Structure 1
């Protein structure tokens, strides 16, 4: 029988208040589906994680991806919704989009306000997400985020507000909207080939550039065995000479270095002298990817056995450079 799958991955949408009203993970499987009005298709809820998303590990997200792949492989699954904590929702959704090659809708959502709080937004977000997951319009989109009535491509979505219900936005704008259960699309994302998933290399870290930044942190990470580093650079991908020199030392040691921007929109390219020095030092520029997503992409590629040169080629294959 055709159905929708709801993967409960914890977060604010299923949180409970602890001592002093502090939120904590706790609600188990089936609690989200039980509180929903009747949907057009049956909803099967599966619990995959019970905590808050800031505590998720690579092992936790790997388990989520495995459950997602199993759900999508079932020919009776019309679509999948993942209810997830908002702090790392964009990262899990991005990973899902990297691995997802089928047309089955995969929709991530969550809540900014916990159950029982005034203005709890989890139920309407969940209903909107189920509407997209069960719709013909949702097919072929890859993984998307549905939040506050907006449909956003997982590759470009970011959490931009820490408390407001309209938490997420995307470089490039919305793919569509959901209103009163009706799904309207404005655009479809360009999809890349699905990536094989063999785990995540936990040695990959992020280094952020700033005014007068040194290369000490990058040097330290390299010395401690980091196989990959994401350099969150200024503007179009620029850093001062100390970080250029540290990048050259890192790449010479076999560490893959990816360059992204501190800015929210516009992406990176070696258009300035500083950026050209980074490219000459062996760093790879990652277009419009943000630091968190670039870290996960690099962690996947390194876990797949690629070296720095292989990473550079793969970034082009998957549309990141």
Structure 2
């Protein structure tokens, strides 16, 4: 049995007015014949990356687990890149198999000069069947780089090198078609797939922010992620509302900068990280805001208590 490919749409499949299915995608990739076995193709209803949902992603995760149990050495998922960093992290939270699950896509569609989808799909398939990639969880293969889902981010709107891991760099590369894993990051135990839906918001702090906007935004939420300035700061006017919100639901503090960790005990002014954590906010660590929202939504959807949420962020952030 070969690597199983789940084709979910996105730029990689957009050929003018037509949309390529998995078989057409595979047929356009020179070099796939060098794999150990032909791809097993399982098409999903195509949808843009921006319209993916937890439910749809978790359904593919369950099907992928069945494919691995049936003998697939690894899994490839193609999708739109708009939310790829978030779907990769969600999948990594629940993926319990040693077999690699590899996400990829394209920044240029097949009608454009220099389209990158074929190269990315070949790279992803090679990673998915590679024994060297076993035990690494969910990976992203793009531009001949291999990124851990835990660290990857989309950092450019159009570049074919859009995916980067700012805090770590890629964990491996493809060199002359060979999968080279350079480091093996620690991976926490997977979580149970969430069985319910939780309403979790992401609020990005801005210059001269308005506490009324924050309060209105958070109404009716089950949890909140705050993307603060720098190492986890907010305007002083937001301190009281955030403390009140943290008293009724989990509120996670992250940084809007795109790299680096929030601090715990460096600054002490009103609105500093020390002030906010002392008011009950949860330290998001190195998790960027989009990942923190995925984790919080998954935890709350699984029925986690506030202490369990705090413990999970302490372990994974």
Band of TM-score, shorter chain = over 0.9
Q: Distance in 2 between matches of 1:295 and 1:3?
A: 34
TM-score by length of 1: 0.91
Partner residue, 1:319: 316
TM-score by length of 2: 0.92
The answer on 1:45 being equivalent to 2:38 is: no
What whole-Å deviation, never above 9, does each CA across 1:240-298 have from its counterpart, x for those lacking one? Answer: 2222211111122x221011101122111223221111111111011111111110100
Are the aligned partners of 2:262 and 2:285 in contact in 1 as well (CA < 8 Å)? yes
Further displaced range: 142-151 or 43-52? 43-52
Compute the displacement of 1:199 (Å). Answer: 4.1
The answer on 1:147 being equivalent to 2:142 is: yes
Further displaced range: 133-142 or 304-313? 304-313
Matching of residues 65-144 of structure 1 within 5 Å: 65-74=61-70, 76-144=71-139
Q: Distance in 1 between matches of 2:212 and 2:285?
A: 25
C-alpha distance 215-200 of structure 1, shift in aligned 2 (>3 A):
farther
C-alpha distance 186-66 of structure 1, shift in aligned 2 (>3 A):
same
The answer on 1:239 being equivalent to 2:234 is: yes
Are the aligned partners of 2:5 and 2:22 in contact in 1 as well (CA < 8 Å)? no
Are the aligned partners of 1:48 and 1:67 in contact in 2 as well (CA < 8 Å)? no
What whole-Å deviation, never above 9, does each CA across 1:138-165 have from its counterpart, x for those lacking one? Answer: 1111111110000111111000111111
Partner residue, 2:13: 14
Compute the displacement of 1:202 (Å). Answer: 4.3
Matching of residues 160-175 of structure 1 within 5 Å: 160-170=155-165, 171-175=167-171
RMSD: 1.6
User: Per the alignment, in what secondary structure is the counterpart of residue 225 of structure 2?
Assistant: strand
Q: Distance in 2 between matches of 1:8 and 1:67?
A: 13
User: Per the alignment, in what secondary structure is the counterpart of residue 30 of structure 1?
Assistant: helix
The answer on 1:63 being equivalent to 2:51 is: no
Q: Where in structure 2 are there 5+ consecutive unaligned residues?
A: none
Q: Where in structure 1 are there 5+ consecutive unaligned residues?
A: 19-24
Q: Which runs of 4+ in 1 moved over 6 A?
A: none
